[in-house]
Amino acid sequence: MLDGATTILNLNSFFECETGNYHTFCPISCVAWLYQKIEDSFFLVIGTKTCGYFLQNALGVMIFAEPRYAMAELEESDISAQLNDYKELKRLCLQIKQDRNPSVIVWIGTCTTEIIKMDLEGMAPRLETEIGIPIVVARANGLDYAFTQGEDTVLSAMALASLKKDVPFLVGNTGLTNNQLLLEKSTSSVNGTDGKELLKKSLVLFGSVPSTVTTQLTLELKKEGINVSGWLPSANYKDLPTFNKDTLVCGINPFLSRTATTLMRRSKCTLICAPFPIGPDGTRVWIEKICGAFGINPSLNPITGNTNLYDREQKIFNGLEDYLKLLRGKSVFFMGDNLLEISLARFLTRCGMIVYEIGIPYLDKRFQAAELALLEQTCKEMNVPMPRIVEKPDNYYQIRRIRELKPDLTITGMAHANPLEARGITTKWSVEFTFAQIHGFTNTREILELVTQPLRRNLMSNQSVNAIS
């Protein structure tokens, strides 16, 4: 792993863990964006009717799309082992092949499959040989993960699949729990290599974002002389990138630590430890870290003497003044939901906000080392205190702190938004940042549009009251 592995040791005093529950969506909701990203895939969610009801409601906004997912419902007879799981899954997969003929079928294991210890990894290799379609098994259950980590389990399983392209697609779980995610240094290292070795290196980016965002980020790197050889996931499963010791990988979302671990341990890739490309500040440093890994100096602007990336960042911030004047001096409190909290808090601090607390369901300090370091640096440059970072926050204590601190904005999960609003606390749904395009230089305005929406609503409401009075 490159850079940032030890930069957070001095931040330990800002961390707390309250061992609260995961107050988030179920991780099987990752199907909502993954089936659209991987265009030749089909997702089969194996669970109960409750899982089906959840998917119907969570994905109900996509009624105009043709979803490539289905439910394999476990009834009481299944749970009591009166039916043959293998035969039933074979019947469903054959029907999927006949109706859709996908390039890959992804089995999403739910909580129920964990509880009854359903051997999905054992059945998948045998069944994919019979039906002639690769099957990827991902345990995206809600027992252990926040909802965005569902994508992490799917991508880590696909990373394993990419290592087995030359043999039958035997794909399974990495066997790691959250507490076992220790990112190890791979055998390859950029430091100390000569130019010839650097030329052998290839770059793969991992994280599911819309095709427009992948194009934007790919072009940004191309401007600096770096070609992206692949994305995980790819739009087509057959285009899944290959990984080896000469591959450098970099994530674009902070909830993909399991995928990073799989790539480093199984394929000996080198992980570029960088902040995430959220906001112009994060995007600039993200590109700079990748350039450094390839031994490339970012291009300079001959007029200003600064790097083009730095000038680009400043130009974007200068164009956001209509939003920034609403945010400067305002306070924000993150309750914790989608694992994007630290990246968003860092960007909002750069925008002039004061972050009281960053709640986050799960934090891999090593995978987010560079992001944490940039947060600390940003707080120093903006002359504001470093916020508390609370892992697995207890909502009872958080609400008490919100009442005491009275933040101008609270970013929270949907479950708590209406109760907080009823108590006079301004909120914003954190899930909206998950589904919005927030990566790269060009999507900065989208983030601020979401953040300022409730503040602008309050301002208009106050103006209306004053006008009436």
* Section 123-134 average pLDDT: 93
In this predicted model, what pLDDT tens digit does every residue of 50-99 receive, in sequence order? 888 888 776 664 544 567 788 888 776 555 455 678 888 999 999 999 99
What pLDDT score does 361 carry? Answer: 92
Residue 199's identity, in one-letter code, is L
CA distance 121 to 46: 13
Judge contact between 176 and 149, C-beta under 8 A. Answer: no
Lateral strand order in the sheet of 270-271: 228-232, 202-206, 247-251, 270-271
Residue 30 DSSP class: G
Where would I find the beta strands (DSSP E) of 161-269? 202-206, 228-232, 247-251
- Report the share of the chain in percent with pLDDT over 90: 63
| pLDDT tier at 192, thresholds 50, 70, 90 | very low
Residues belonging to the chain:
469
CATH topology of domain 27-145: Rossmann fold (3.40.50)
H helix intervals, 8-48: 31-37
Judge contact between 3 and 289, C-beta under 8 A. Answer: yes
* Section 209-213 average pLDDT: 94
CA distance 430 to 34: 19
In this predicted model, what pLDDT tens digit does every residue of 338-397 receive, in sequence order? 999 999 999 999 999 999 999 999 999 999 999 999 999 999 999 999 999 999 999 899
What pLDDT score does 1 carry? Answer: 62
Domain with CATH 3.40.50.1980 in the chain: 27-145, 312-468
For residue 171, is pLDDT > 70? no
H helix intervals, 319-443: 321-327, 341-350, 369-382, 395-405, 414-422, 431-435
In this predicted model, what pLDDT tens digit does every residue of 435-466 receive, in sequence order? 999 999 999 999 999 999 999 998 887 766 56
Write b or e for each residue in 128-137: b if 16 or more Cβ atoms lie within 10 A of its Cβ, otherwise e. Answer: beeeebbbbb
Average pLDDT over the chain reads 85
What pLDDT score does 172 carry? Answer: 33
CATH topology of domain 312-468: Rossmann fold (3.40.50)
Q: Is the peptide bond prior to 233 cis by the omega test (within 30 degrees of 0)? A: yes
Q: Please count the helices (runs of H) and the strands (runs of E) in the chain.
A: 19, 14
* Section 416-427 average pLDDT: 93
